[in-house]
Structures are given as C-alpha cells and as structure tokens.
Amino acid sequence: MNDREHDARVAALWILHGGACVKLLRAHGRYDHAENFEDALNEVASIVADEVGEDTLSAAMDWASDQLWGSAEHAVTGTPERKHLH
C-alpha cells in the first residue's frame, strides 16, 4: 500500500465515524448541527478526493466499511453522498 492509499484509508475511517456522529445528532433532534456536520464531511471528502483521487477514496471507503462491518455483504460502499460537489 502506498502513502496515498494509506492516507485515503485513514480519511475514510474518519468520514465513516463522522457519518455516525451525524446520525446521532439527528436521532437526538440536533438537526442544525447534523446538517453543518454533514456539510463539513462533504467538504472533507471533496478535499481528500482531490488529493488522492476519486477511485482511491472510493476503494478506501469500501475498505473502511469492510473493517467496520466485518463482511462485504453488510458493507456500505462507495464514497459519501457529495451533494455540494457538483
């Protein structure tokens, strides 16, 4: 694994962790905070994708999801929704 893949994997773990935080905020009625956090995660994903490449980040997100869920059949794949990128 090269440095770019390593950096993408680290970022992917943080992005998934951030997504869980967004869900927690929403579950507790903190919608404004959840929206702001989600917007920030989208920006982080955009920056990381620009640095390492979309394909590398997508592969890292798949890897991170596999690490969290333990099997490909339960994995959340691909990069996070990036509603503000295009």
Per-residue model confidence as pLDDT tens digits over 31-44: 999 999 999 999 99
Model pTM score = 0.76
In whole angstroms, give the CA distance from residue 79 to residue 81: 7
pLDDT for 72 equals 53
Question: Which of 53, 61, 48, 56 lies closest to 19, judged by CA?
Answer: 61
Report the alpha-carbon angle 27-28-34, nearest 5.
Answer: 75
Q: Looking at residues 11-38, what average pLDDT do you find?
A: 96
